[in-house]
Amino acid sequence: MQPKSRLNYIVLWDEYILPCLSGVLLFLSFPMGNHTYFAWFAMVPLLLRTVNGQKPFKKGFITGLVFFFGTQSWINNSISRYGHVPFFLGVLIVLALCAYEGLYAGLFGYLVNRVSAKTKIPIFLSVPSLWVGLEYLRGILLTGFPWSFLGYTQYRALPLIQVSNITGVYGVSFILVMSNAVIAALLLNNPFVKQPSYKPSATDTSGKITSGMLTSGTFECAIFGAAAFAVVLAASLIYGYAVIKAGTSDVGRTDAVTISVIQGNIAQGMKWDKKYEEEVIGTYENLSRRALEGKSTTLQAPLQTPPQAPLQAPQAPRQAPAQASPQPPQMPQIPQMIVWPETSLPFLFYYDMKNTKSFIEFDKTMHTYLLFGTVIVKGFVSNQYKISNSAVLLNPDGQIEYVYDKVHLVPFGEYVPFKNVLNFVGKLVNAVGDFDQGKEKRLAKTSIGSFAVHICYEIVFPGLVREFYENGGDFIVTITNDAWFGKSAGPYQHFIMSIFRAVENGKPLVRAANTGISGFVDATGAVLGQTGLFEKTVLTVKIYKNSRLTFYSAYGDLFAFGCNLFNLFMVIRLIAVKLMVVKLKSRQSNGDGTTYPPKTVGKIRKNKGGNRK
């Protein structure tokens, strides 16, 4: 019998330390941890203790709680600083969000354990499918929060992430989790290490409980899983290199367009303060004139310090490889369109007519397209103004050519979801405004090309963005105000998600952010130029439009759907096994409740008319 102190240490190690270790490794693989290679093995400690251990839900939940709080703790900056919520209450709110997300990780741990113990399905298939399926559900249920998807960690591994134009970011997550599952299987079934072997159980047709076979929990199966992973990884890389190489051809590509993004770096407290109105609009107008005069900055630098992913040369700069889309010219050029960030106008467009007329006159002097974010008054209902968070495009003659109203609003930031139930939290959003939801998803069709605008939070939704490009489009524009995030990991995480939207839809992307990060991304995910955080600047880059329709743009999340169909099959299989076991137990019991071994039960059943005593 082991001493109590040793048992306590084992419980601490098994149920807390290893799950926490996985959570820490997972969040360190994201910006600003920047150890992107951790994602290839971060889940191994958790898997070693959930595949055939006890309390798998608890262990998965702890991993998820640590992981999500590590990657999303910056949210408290928005809540406490701009929502006027006390700091510690803000921390509790973020913890509540992360606990909700942790439920998905807990369910993942539980299902991994049950599928491993009760079916013959190998973990190199079940584990990545379960993780991806739950990632997808987390991104759509209860309005969805698709932040911290594991695939985003590999934004620098351009050949690897090209598979996203078929599978979405979920395909990259699948490959990473498959790597973790294979490593765990090899460790659990290593014949050279003395330890309990991972041997799941299944029920055969005779009703006997049998141990795992080659298809479930043996070293041979682990080797087979490693080989399968090598094939999947190799196929993804070969495909990725082919896509990047095809970027040099003219297939699906049209002419180039030069665009400037304006980063005004306006403090959140100044945006709607009347005394700063002239200063704010003057900042954007002066920066726009700089862009027209060619006095802009063209950057081709990497994101602030993240190291290379394991699939790239360690010292390679963060830019498109030689075989990728042509690099923008080193000398700044005169823009054909200028893009301002989300809600960049410090007045209500077409409601404050004095400022609106002055602004349109300014636009006419530029003789170029101007896209800007603004709040628009849509009407007056029940003693309240109906307003929208919108993007407006003015043509060179100062006429409105395109208006887009944001269709996916930020819950508790731009509106209160389930307002009848959650009316008590209404005051949390008073400082921001309760916006009306847009209805239309359409492209702006102009003489310089067709594009859609995605405002702030919308760019993090893979399925939403791709709906705009089902029928074509030349490039993507996203405008945002990340001043809410402060100097945290938030702006970096937000930026790298936009990289995947470019790859998924096979189109270059233009990003204008009030305080940064603004930038340009080509259709393969290479960052062509970017700004730093909290600086006033102009960035001008020539992008090469691409009208090609990717598989993901056309058909959406078929890969994630497929994973969830497989997950459903596994759950049904678990239920069937459970029912079979219950039926076996009932058959093994005679009328007075005595239980016999299976062989004895078989003899009794043969002797239908005999004495059962």
- As a whole number of angstroms, the distance between CA 136 and CA 382 comes to 38
**DSSP codes, 250-313:** -TTEEEEEEEEEEE----TTTTT-GGGHHHHHHHHHHHHHHHHTT--B---PPSSSPPPPTTS-
Which CA distances in Å does 359 have to 356, 387, 391, 414?
A: 5, 20, 15, 26
Which CA distances in Å does 577 have to 105, 113, 203, 494, 595?
A: 24, 14, 7, 43, 20
Phi, psi values for residue 387, rounded to 5°: -125, 155
Burial of 536 (0-12, 13-18, 19+ CB in 10 A): middle
Active site residue 342: yes
The residue behind tokens 């896209």 is 371
Selection from 100, 43, 38, 108 nearest residue 75 by Cα: 100
Active site residue 20: no
How would you classify residue 531: left for phi > 0, otherwise alpha for psi between -120 and 50, otherwise beta? beta
Selection from 180, 159, 160 nearest residue 226 by Cα: 180
- As a whole number of angstroms, the distance between CA 342 and CA 339 comes to 10
Selection from 511, 484, 486, 487 nearest residue 497 by Cα: 511
Structure tokens at 611: 């004495």
How many helices (H) and strands (E) in the chain? 18, 14
Structure tokens at 508: 């270059």
Active site residue 15: no
Strand partners, 259: 337, 541
- CA R_g for the chain: 28
160, 232 Cβ separation under 8 angstroms: no
Query: Length of the chain in residues, anyone?
Result: 613
- As a whole number of angstroms, the distance between CA 176 and CA 600 comes to 49
480, 456 Cβ separation under 8 angstroms: yes
20, 98, 221, 456: the catalytic one is 456
- As a whole number of angstroms, the distance between CA 113 and CA 127 comes to 10
406, 507, 542, 545: the catalytic one is 406
Which CA distances in Å does 307 have to 78, 320, 518?
A: 28, 16, 20
Say whether 314 sits in a helix, a strand or coil: coil
Please enumerate in sequence order all residues whose Cβ is within 8 A of that of 551, keeping only pairs 6 or more positions apart, or say none.
165, 166
55, 118, 271, 342: the catalytic one is 342
How would you classify residue 148: left for phi > 0, otherwise alpha for psi between -120 and 50, otherwise beta? left
Active-site residue set: 342, 406, 456
